[in-house]
């Protein structure tokens, strides 16, 4: 039965009732998909008034189909991974939100898609009941709406199973635990973790892992050494981690291996042991530990096997491994000899010290002058570290103060650097004490120090200085000259000596070389006249740039010139008097004063310079220059003086950047001076720390529909897409671009009204939940009972009521009805004003305008690139405007650069404007000629079009009374179109005539324009519509090929559209021309106002009422005065019209002689009447008919000529005193009574609904 219903269907219940009983009316107001809206009205019989009214929505159950598609929420994890599959998931379909009433089941295939299930239309809930392999079970119900006759697909994103576990590797010394031995380090051990996207064992592992990660041990605050996957400091290489949405590292289902691949300094990879703290499983000698990430049944929890047990319902979020390392150990051996006699020196004591831990022990040489730390020479466990002859030695101290137990099977010395010092004593008195360092780095190896010899010492004392500064501080750079002042004692008188000074690195003891690879040395020869002598040695000039931040020490060697033998040496790397400190390369941090970053925003810059190794209390000068990175030229300079409070510190220099800085990068060059001597500098064009980057932005705005700068302003809303091109940004730095739309005409910000919803609309939203479809149904129900009346339509109601009243007031009681209408309208309007107008005024008072802005925050990966900003724009007030986008680039809340040029074409979007003027081609007015065919010309004036582009104007004729297109007799619309190329002040364009043929337009701002078309191979002039002219003129070929020379970006102009209409369709109608402007099939502007007079052409209609003394019957006489009241409708007020009349003999159809004059008038309203009088001899006629014509500017625009029209006819009878009117007024009175009752009933119903709406 629902299928047989149709809109407008109506039935009555309770016919033939006596007065006072009720009758009911049921009407079908709307029929939709699955529902029908019925209007109900109850009427008291005999009154014609609605007693009650209402409506109901009846739902109709129909069926549709549904299916499901499952997708992964983390395709980067699951795609191509054999541990995950979309196939086999099952979802229950339930009719209730609690998911207790299952009505169907979805089962997914390998693509995650289910089959279709046919269900009654309505709301359902889908819930997963079985997860597919690798995915978690989704416990949440998902709503789905099944619509009649449609297939609805629900897509669910499912989360793959993974373990957010952290792998933590604790590095330990196999003997001392968390404490390192000697100079060894537990930090820096590397472990390689591999992930395979499948389940494997060690025997079938693929050759290449899906992911490989390398982590290293780092010393923690608690003193432990840990490699932690979640600690960025522990990353040592490899691929990116898998992470979840919150950035936590996860392990997907699959196989994981762990292997130590690099032992830390001082430890052996062989002998290491990796142990899972949870399971106790151990892997020795750097082997591979293997485990798998598996998932519990039916989408249960994923976990790494061996990754920890459940604790309080939660699985441990980490798996820990303990790795024990074996430290390297070795020994030394030596022999002690007298340099002069080469005799063995027994009982000489030495001190051996680990330079890192400070652990120190003594030993003495045996009777052969020999000593060894090897257990075979003296067991470590025998009188350990007592220092006597034959006593053992053992270095055991750890980083934390613990001790390693003595083990005679191992070397006595731990890995690390040692210093050996000879201790003065009885057995070496008068000798120069031996001192040296060595490093033990190989396990199980004995270092042979060979023969340690003593000399009778010449005492050497030295003072080294830099020639430029005269101090121990020097600039690391070219032309370094050092002077060594050497004081010597115990020289042999009369002996000739050669003193050689050599520069070495104090930290490494290695010689410092010149550019040619030879050592930096100096020599001085002298003859000792006394036992004491002071000599100044000048070392070779050299480039010391490589020594930046280092300390050099000068070693001295004294030779006997005659023998060439060494007489003495001074090699003390800790002797401060021998040292020259080369100032460390000063480091800088250049900042913009406003942003506090390397992003420049203004001309005020700050350079923070960090220095090291200066002399506290001394005054220094810091000089800075600002260098253009592109040219390498300095464009600004500055300096500051400071006194160093400590050896290490910071100083600042402020500079003003050059005026033209946009898009440029500047680099600070710094020089540190002590007096006039340069100590250090920093000049590196590639150093980001020294750099200030000034960004530059440019924009290209386009309309979102046309994708060009031609705006589409006809769709209610449009989007402006602004592509901002940026240059010279710092990758990794966060930026924000904000923009605002500007009105080019005003130069100010473009703002649009933000309207508050009316009280009625808010109420509809409240009761419908904002559902637009339901809201439309409510609107139709309201329209049914109110006649479409709403508070905001009050003014329209008044206008329409008056128009209806005028149309109905055809009787002589017109003035009385009008008075009643005005009284009723005033009463009704007053009631409305007190309620709805007040709410409407309050709403309008809240209307405000808001600027249109947009912003985007981004972190660029490259210095140059683009971002897009989108602006949502309402099109109701943008036609004819040019909108320009202004942008600011912001860092840390500071505008660092802007692009705000109101004249910039690239930033502009041009929205065309159109308006139309429609006239009758013959009358050239908004009133139509009365003829068989009417021709309407609509001139479309356009503004703000981009020159050089092709546009199309399309139009259609609309019936103003219906608001629908005017159709011809075949039911087709009246349309027209023209395509043209917008020119500038001069140019050439191709046009299309109404018949589709091409014609051409050459125009020039000075000489005017002309039109022409091709005829038989020639070009002849035509009119502006492409039609032939009486005397066509030949057009020169040069003019035909004239090229457009546009001087303006946008142009204004007009094109004409011509419509030919069957005039019989127009009588009494007003035709309105709607026009749309298109660019490449996109509507960019429109003019479609059904009430716009300029777009309208009126076709008048006249009726006549001829009478003699107010009656249609009269006595025939010699001269009879006939008055014809001509009633007109649809005239254009303000134009001059003329009514001309003719009396016709009804019997013969011929005109009769009569005295009459045309009546010329200018109406103030579209409807009205004028009287035209005839004086005629009526004795020879039984009936005369008045014919009337209405002209405007000499053109016939309406006529009324109907011999059968009673209103136009007066009948004459001979010898009769008077005849009553042919028509009885009783019928009219009866009809008028019914009309008044209907109006009163409608008014009562309207008032009732509005009262209910108010409540």
* 643 and 768 belong to one structural domain: no
Instruction: Give pLDDT, residue 310.
Output: 40
Q: From residue 88, give the alpha-carbon distance in Å to each of 105, 112, 576.
A: 12, 8, 79
Q: Which two tokens stand for residue 94?
A: 């339930």
Q: What average pLDDT does range 243-258 have in this prediction?
A: 89
**In whole angstroms, what is the distance from residue 900 CA to residue 963 CA?**
45
> Which tops the pLDDT comparison, 226 or 306?
226
pLDDT band at residue 1173 under the 50/70/90 scheme: very high
The CATH code of the domain that includes 338 is 2.60.40.10
Instruction: Give pLDDT, residue 1171.
Output: 94
**In whole angstroms, what is the distance from residue 897 CA to residue 600 CA?**
9
* 657 and 721 belong to one structural domain: no
Q: Which two tokens stand for residue 516?
A: 């040619």
Instruction: Give pLDDT, residue 1236.
Output: 43
Q: Which two tokens stand for residue 996?
A: 């589709």
1027-1050 burial code (b ≥16 CB/10 A, e <16): eeeeeeeebeeeeeeeebebeebb
pLDDT in tens, 947-1002: 888 999 999 999 999 999 999 888 999 999 988 888 644 556 778 887 878 888 77
* 870 and 802 belong to one structural domain: no
pLDDT band at residue 1239 under the 50/70/90 scheme: very low
pLDDT in tens, 36-73: 777 777 766 555 555 666 777 666 657 899 999 999 99
**In whole angstroms, what is the distance from residue 961 CA to residue 492 CA?**
134
* 557 and 491 belong to one structural domain: yes
Last residue of a domain, one of 869, 895, 910: 910
pLDDT at 771 exceeding the cut of 90: no
pLDDT at 312 exceeding the cut of 50: no
**In whole angstroms, what is the distance from residue 734 CA to residue 595 CA?**
12
**In whole angstroms, what is the distance from residue 922 CA to residue 295 CA?**
87
The CATH code of the domain that includes 262 is 2.60.40
Instruction: Give pLDDT, residue 525.
Output: 95
Whether residue 583 contacts residue 614, with contact meaning beta carbons closer than 8 Å, is answered with: yes
* 450 and 537 belong to one structural domain: no
Q: What average pLDDT does range 253-276 have in this prediction?
A: 85
**In whole angstroms, what is the distance from residue 501 CA to residue 516 CA?**
18
Of 428-442, 490-504, 759-773, the least confident: 759-773
With a pLDDT cut of 90, the percent of the chain lying above it is 40
Of 158-167, 216-225, 587-596, 1245-1254, the least confident: 1245-1254
Contacts of 1153 (CB under 8 A, 6+ apart): 1176, 1177
Whether residue 532 contacts residue 491, with contact meaning beta carbons closer than 8 Å, is answered with: yes
Instruction: Give pLDDT, residue 1048.
Output: 54
* 764 and 781 belong to one structural domain: yes
Instruction: Give pLDDT, residue 824.
Output: 47
Per the prediction, the chain carries an average pLDDT of 82
pLDDT band at residue 886 under the 50/70/90 scheme: very high
Q: Which two tokens stand for residue 1055?
A: 């094109």
pLDDT at 290 exceeding the cut of 50: yes
* 948 and 1081 belong to one structural domain: yes
1208 three-class SS: coil
Whether residue 660 contacts residue 629, with contact meaning beta carbons closer than 8 Å, is answered with: no
Q: What average pLDDT does range 796-802 have in this prediction?
A: 43
Q: Which two tokens stand for residue 723?
A: 């592509």
Q: Which two tokens stand for residue 924?
A: 């050239």
pLDDT band at residue 137 under the 50/70/90 scheme: very high
Of 192-206, 330-344, 409-423, the least confident: 330-344
Q: Which two tokens stand for residue 78?
A: 């699951």
pLDDT band at residue 583 under the 50/70/90 scheme: confident
Q: What average pLDDT does range 1122-1151 have in this prediction?
A: 92
* 316 and 404 belong to one structural domain: no
Contacts of 443 (CB under 8 A, 6+ apart): 268, 328, 329, 330, 411, 415
**In whole angstroms, what is the distance from residue 591 CA to residue 614 CA?**
24
Instruction: Give pLDDT, residue 958.
Output: 93
pLDDT band at residue 79 under the 50/70/90 scheme: very high
Q: How far is C-alpha 1204 from the geometric centre of its chain's CA atoms?
A: 76
Instruction: Give pLDDT, residue 843.
Output: 44
Which segment, 93-107, 693-707, 1049-1063, is predicted with the most confidence on average?
93-107
Last residue of a domain, one of 327, 346, 375: 327
Last residue of a domain, one of 327, 354, 373: 327
The helix (run of H) or strand (run of E) holding residue 329 is strand 329-338
Task: Calculate the CA dihedral of residues 571, 574, 576, 581 and round it to 10 degrees.
Answer: 100
pLDDT at 691 exceeding the cut of 60: yes
Q: What average pLDDT does range 1227-1242 have in this prediction?
A: 42
* 1159 and 1206 belong to one structural domain: yes
pLDDT at 180 exceeding the cut of 70: yes
How many domains are contained in the chain? 10
> Which tops the pLDDT comparison, 1158 or 428?
1158
* Start-to-end Cα distance in the chain: 37
pLDDT band at residue 1251 under the 50/70/90 scheme: very low
Residue in the structure block whose two tokens are 């001069």: 986
Instruction: Give pLDDT, residue 662.
Output: 87
* 958 and 1077 belong to one structural domain: yes
Q: What average pLDDT does range 1126-1131 have in this prediction?
A: 92
**In whole angstroms, what is the distance from residue 138 CA to residue 153 CA?**
18
**In whole angstroms, what is the distance from residue 414 CA to residue 354 CA?**
9
How many Cα atoms are found within 13 Å in the side-chain-facing hemisphere of 492?
12
pLDDT in tens, 998-1055: 888 776 543 457 788 888 888 888 888 888 888 888 876 535 544 433 345 778 888 8
* 1053 and 992 belong to one structural domain: yes
pLDDT in tens, 826-871: 444 444 444 444 444 444 444 567 888 999 999 999 999 999 999 9
**In whole angstroms, what is the distance from residue 541 CA to residue 546 CA?**
14
pLDDT at 526 exceeding the cut of 90: yes
Instruction: Give pLDDT, residue 782.
Output: 52
Contacts of 655 (CB under 8 A, 6+ apart): 605, 606, 607, 624, 626, 636, 637, 638, 668
Between vectors from CA 238 to CA 233 and to CA 243, what angle results, nearest 5°?
Answer: 75
Instruction: Give pLDDT, residue 421.
Output: 93
Whether residue 461 contacts residue 569, with contact meaning beta carbons closer than 8 Å, is answered with: no
* 131 and 9 belong to one structural domain: no
The residue segments making up the domain with residue 1063 are 913-1097
Strands in 714-818 per DSSP E: 717-727, 735-743, 751-754
The CATH code of the domain that includes 466 is 2.60.40.3930
**In whole angstroms, what is the distance from residue 10 CA to residue 33 CA?**
20
């Amino acid at each position: 039965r629902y299928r047989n219903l149709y809109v407008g269907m109506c039935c009555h219940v309770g016919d033939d009732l006596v007065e006072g009983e009720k009758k009911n009316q049921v009407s079908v107001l709307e029929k939709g998909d699955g529902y029908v809206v019925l209007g109900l009205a109850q009427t008291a019989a005999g009154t014609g008034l609605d007693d009650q009214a209402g409506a109901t929505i009846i739902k109709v159950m129909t069926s549709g189909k549904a299916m499901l598609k499952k997708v992964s929420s983390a395709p980067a994890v699951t795609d191509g991974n054999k541990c995950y599959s979309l196939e086999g998931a099952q979802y229950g379909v339930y009719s209730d939100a609690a998911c207790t009433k299952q009505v169907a089941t979805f089962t997914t295939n390998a693509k995650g898609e289910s089959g279709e299930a046919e269900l009654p239309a309505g709301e359902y809930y889908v819930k997963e009941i079985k997860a597919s392999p690798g995915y978690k079970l989704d416990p949440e119900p998902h709503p789905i709406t099944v619509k009649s006759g449609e297939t609805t697909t629900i897509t669910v994103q499912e989360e793959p199973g993974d373990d957010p576990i952290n792998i933590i590797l604790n590095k330990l010394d196999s003997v001392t635990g968390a404490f390192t031995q000697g100079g060894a380090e537990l930090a820096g051990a590397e472990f390689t973790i591999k992930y395979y996207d499948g389940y494997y064992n060690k025997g079938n592992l693929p050759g290449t892992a899906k992911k490989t990660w390398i982590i290293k041990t780092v010393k923690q605050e608690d003193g432990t050494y840990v490699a932690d996957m979640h600690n960025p400091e522990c990353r040592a290489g490899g691929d990116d981690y898998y992470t979840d949405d919150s950035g936590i590292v996860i392990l997907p289902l699959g196989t994981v291996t762990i292997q130590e691949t690099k032992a830390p300094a001082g430890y052996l990879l062989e002998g290491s042991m990796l142990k899972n703290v949870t399971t106790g499983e151990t892997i020795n000698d750097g082997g591979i530990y293997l485990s798998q990430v598996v998932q519990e049944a039916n989408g249960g929890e994923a976990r790494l096997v061996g990754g920890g047990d459940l604790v309080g319902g939660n699985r441990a979020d980490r798996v820990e491994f303990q790795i024990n390392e074996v430290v390297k150990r070795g020994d030394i051996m030596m022999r002690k000899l007298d340099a002069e006699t080469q005799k063995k020196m027994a009982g000489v004591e030495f001190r051996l010290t680990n330079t890192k831990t400070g652990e120190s022990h003594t030993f003495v040489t045996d009777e052969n002058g020999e000593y060894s730390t090897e257990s075979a020479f003296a067991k470590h466990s025998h009188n350990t570290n007592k220092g006597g002859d034959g006593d053992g030695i053992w270095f055991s101290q750890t980083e934390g103060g613990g001790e390693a137990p003595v083990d005679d099977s191992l070397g006595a010395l731990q890995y690390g650097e040692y210093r050996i010092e000879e201790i003065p004593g009885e057995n070496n008195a008068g000798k120069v004490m031996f001192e040296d360092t060595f490093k033990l780095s190989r396990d199980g190896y004995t270092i042979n120090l060979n023969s340690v010899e003593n000399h009778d010492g010449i005492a050497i004392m030295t003072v080294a200085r830099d020639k430029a500064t005269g101090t121990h501080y020097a600039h690391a750079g070219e032309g370094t000259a050092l002077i060594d002042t050497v004081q010597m004692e115990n020289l042999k008188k009369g002996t000739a000596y050669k003193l050689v000074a050599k520069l070495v690195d104090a930290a490494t003891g290695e010689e410092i070389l010149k550019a040619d690879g030879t050592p930096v040395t100096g020599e001085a020869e002298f003859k000792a006249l006394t036992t004491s002598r002071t000599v100044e040695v000048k070392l070779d000039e050299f480039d010391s740039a490589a020594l930046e931040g280092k300390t050099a020490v000068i070693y001295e060697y004294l030779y006997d010139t005659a023998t060439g033998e060494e007489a003495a040496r001074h090699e003390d790397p800790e002797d401060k008097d021998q040292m020259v400190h080369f100032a460390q390369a000063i480091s800088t941090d250049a900042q913009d004063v406003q942003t506090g970053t390397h992003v420049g925003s203004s001309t005020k810059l700050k350079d923070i310079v960090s220095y090291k190794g200066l002399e506290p209390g001394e005054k220094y000068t810091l000089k800075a220059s600002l260098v253009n990175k592109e040219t390498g030229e300095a464009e600004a300079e500055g300096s500051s003086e400071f006194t160093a409070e400590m050896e290490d510190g910071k100083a600042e220099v402020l500079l003003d950047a050059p005026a033209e800085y946009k898009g440029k990068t500047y680099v600070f060059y710094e020089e540190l001076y002590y007096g006039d001597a340069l100590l250090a500098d920093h000049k590196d064009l590639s150093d980001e720390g020294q750099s200030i980057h000034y960004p530059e932005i440019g924009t290209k705005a386009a309309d979102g529909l046309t994708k060009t700068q031609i705006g589409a302003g006809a769709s209610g809303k449009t989007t402006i897409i602004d592509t901002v091109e940026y240059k010279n940004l710092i990758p990794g730095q966060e930026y924000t671009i904000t923009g605002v739309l500007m009105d080019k005409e005003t130069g100010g910000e473009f703002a649009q009204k933000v309207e508050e919803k009316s009280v009625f609309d808010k109420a509809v939203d409240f009761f419908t939940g904002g559902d637009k479809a339901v809201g439309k149904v409510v609107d139709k129900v309201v329209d049914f009972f109110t006649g479409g009346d709403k508070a905001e339509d009050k003014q329209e109601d008044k206008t329409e009521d008056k128009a209806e009243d005028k149309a109905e007031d055809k009787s002589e009681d017109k003035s009385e009805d009008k008075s009643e209408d005005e009284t009723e309208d005033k009463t009704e309007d007053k009631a409305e004003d007190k309620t709805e107008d007040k709410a409407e005024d309050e709403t309008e008072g809240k209307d405000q305008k808001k600027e249109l802005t947009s912003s985007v925050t981004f972190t660029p990966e490259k210095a140059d690139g683009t971002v897009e900003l989108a602006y949502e724009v309402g099109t109701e007030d943008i036609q004819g405007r040019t909108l320009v986008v202004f942008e600011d680039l912001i860092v840390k809340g500071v505008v660092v650069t802007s692009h705000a040029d109101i004249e910039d074409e690239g930033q502009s979007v041009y929205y065309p404007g159109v308006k139309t003027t429609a006239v009758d081609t013959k009358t050239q007015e908004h009133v139509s000629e009365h003829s068989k065919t009417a021709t309407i010309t609509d001139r479309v004036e356009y503004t703000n079009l981009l020159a050089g582009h092709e546009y199309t104007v399309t139009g259609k004729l609309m019936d103003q009374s219906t608001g629908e297109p005017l159709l011809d007799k075949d039911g087709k619309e009246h349309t027209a179109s023209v395509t043209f190329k917008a020119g500038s002040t001069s140019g050439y364009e191709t046009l299309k005539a109404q018949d589709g043929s091409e014609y051409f337009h050459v125009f020039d701002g000075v000489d005017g324009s002309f039109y022409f078309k091709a005829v038989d191979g020639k070009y002849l002039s035509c009119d502006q519509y492409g039609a032939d002219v009486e005397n066509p003129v030949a057009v020169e070929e040069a003019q035909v090929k004239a090229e457009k020379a546009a001087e303006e970006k946008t142009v204004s102009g007009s094109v004409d559209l011509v419509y030919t209409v069957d005039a019989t369709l127009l009588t009494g109608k007003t035709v309105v021309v709607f026009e749309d402007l298109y660019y490449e099939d996109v509507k960019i502007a429109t003019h479609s106002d059904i009430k716009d007079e300029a777009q309208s052409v009126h076709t008048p209609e006249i009726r006549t009422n001829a009478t003699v003394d107010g009656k249609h019957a009269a006595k025939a006489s010699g001269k009879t005065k006939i008055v014809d009241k001509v009633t007109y409708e649809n005239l254009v007020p303000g134009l001059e019209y003329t009514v001309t009349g003719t009396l016709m003999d009804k019997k013969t159809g011929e005109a009769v002689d009569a005295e009459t004059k045309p009546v010329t008038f200018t109406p103030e309203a579209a409807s009205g009447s004028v009287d035209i009088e005839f004086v005629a001899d009526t004795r020879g006629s039984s009936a005369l008919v008045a014919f009337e014509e209405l002209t405007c500017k000499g053109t016939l625009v309406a006529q009324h000529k109907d011999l059968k029209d009673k209103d136009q006819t007066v009948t004459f009878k001979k010898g009769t005193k008077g005849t009553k009117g042919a028509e009885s007024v009783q019928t009219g009175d009866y009809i008028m009574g019914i009309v008044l009752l209907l109006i009163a009933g409608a008014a009562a119903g309207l008032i009732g609904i509005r009262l209910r709406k108010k409540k």
